[in-house]
Amino acid sequence: MLRQAQHERVEEDFAVEAVDLVKDFGETRAVDGVSLAVPSGSIFGLLGPNGAGKTTTLRILLGIIDPSSGSRHILGHERPLDAAQEVGYLPEERGLYPSMHARDAIAFVGALRGLPLSEGRRRADELLNEHGLGEWARRPIRTLSKGMAQTVQLLGTIIHRPRLIVLDEPFSGLDAINQARLEELIRKQAREGATIIFSTHVIAHAERLCERIAIIAGGKVAFEGSVDEARGRLRPIVRLRTRSESGSWRSAIPDTARQHGGEWVFELPEGGPEPLLKALIEGKAGIETLAIERPGLHDAFVAIAGDVAAQAMGQEAREQ
């Protein structure tokens, strides 16, 4: 009874809850004590460079592989496959049967999740028309472009209207237009009540889409929380340009401030903007420009995951 109540609570509050997941591949520890709680109905981003353990974590959550230790609940189920009919999954390495027609491929993925084939074909036709691929519905996958095939697979992921959608690097390999379409599709699914987890190494996508994120580095969760909380870990950045080069106002500039081309860059002091402004005005600094910037998710990522991980992420994003 108690367990039932606990499961109901878990299902109600969190679509996914993982506790202390560990996965060893031989001597290599790929996932090292990952704990996550993904609120129902949210868009949740899993950030980290390649090799951080994102895909392995997702595969454990979905039941493709079992963890070496730890536990996970998916939509209230202890065994992920018990929730399979309510879950959609787009793997990082895309794959479809090349000889299948687009609508059949989508319906097949739906059928794997319990959707009757005839209903799957009907919905597939609708979705393909909606995404401008109506005329490709009865053509083999092998004749589709990479972007089209990727869209077909994505449609297969949502054909059965899952409550939880897991997307592993969904933006990888897409051009800018298709990336924007995918972002809109994710938002639409979230508006309709689905929980979405996606992994990415492009921070901009997470920044635009996610309500909550987890930053994974070296198989560990370095941060889990809202995007605002991640940013909140850093103080706002002040960019100041003055006409005066010296004066009593200089005491308001922290020792850690850096100067680039006549511009001071430093973290906003603890007291906030008012004391700083007061000191600058009273000290006759002659404010030329003053900007107080909220740190971006990338800055937060650097601060949380470290420079090396951030550089790796940047490198991967550029390669894409």
* Interaction residues for other proteins, span 211-250 (CB under 8 A): none
What is the nearest approach in angstroms of other proteins to the Cβ of residue 208? 26
What is the nearest approach in angstroms of other proteins to the Cβ of residue 157? 8
Among 17, 34, 43, 89, interactor with other proteins by CB under 8 A: 89
Q: How far is 26 from 191, CA to CA, in rounded Å?
A: 42
Binning the chain into helix, strand and coil, the percentages to the nearest 5 are 45, 25, 30
Nearer to other proteins, 35 or 68 (CB): 68
Q: How far is 68 from 256, CA to CA, in rounded Å?
A: 45
Under the criterion CB under 8 A, does residue 62 sit at the interface with other proteins?
yes
Among 39, 40, 50, 65, interactor with other proteins by CB under 8 A: 65
Under the criterion CB under 8 A, does residue 22 sit at the interface with other proteins?
no
Nearer to other proteins, 19 or 117 (CB): 117
Nearer to other proteins, 114 or 232 (CB): 114
* Interaction residues for other proteins, span 32-61 (CB under 8 A): 59
Contacts of 282 (CB under 8 A, 6+ apart): 248, 249
Residue 278 token pair: 């007061």
Candidate segments 95-103, 173-181, 214-222, 265-273, binder of other proteins by CB under 8 A: 95-103
Is 294 in contact with 238 (CB distance < 8 Å)? Answer: no
Nearer to other proteins, 66 or 293 (CB): 66
What sign has the CA pseudo-torsion 227, 228, 234, 240? positive
What is the nearest approach in angstroms of other proteins to the Cβ of residue 84? 5
3-state SS, residue 69 = strand
Cα–Cα nearest to 33, from 57, 55, 10: 57
Residue 288 token pair: 């030329």
Nearer to other proteins, 82 or 228 (CB): 82
Q: DSSP assignment, residue 101?
A: B
How many CB atoms within 10 Å of residue 310? 20
Nearer to other proteins, 97 or 281 (CB): 97
Under the criterion CB under 8 A, does residue 198 sit at the interface with other proteins?
no
Q: How far is 189 from 195, CA to CA, in rounded Å?
A: 8
Contacts of 128 (CB under 8 A, 6+ apart): 102, 103, 106, 134, 136, 137, 152, 155
Q: How far is 141 from 296, CA to CA, in rounded Å?
A: 40
Under the criterion CB under 8 A, does residue 76 sit at the interface with other proteins?
no
* Interaction residues for other proteins, span 100-159 (CB under 8 A): 100, 108-109, 111-114, 117, 153, 156
Residues that bind other proteins (CB under 8 A): 25, 59, 62-66, 68, 81, 84, 87, 89, 91, 93-100, 108-109, 111-114, 117, 153, 156
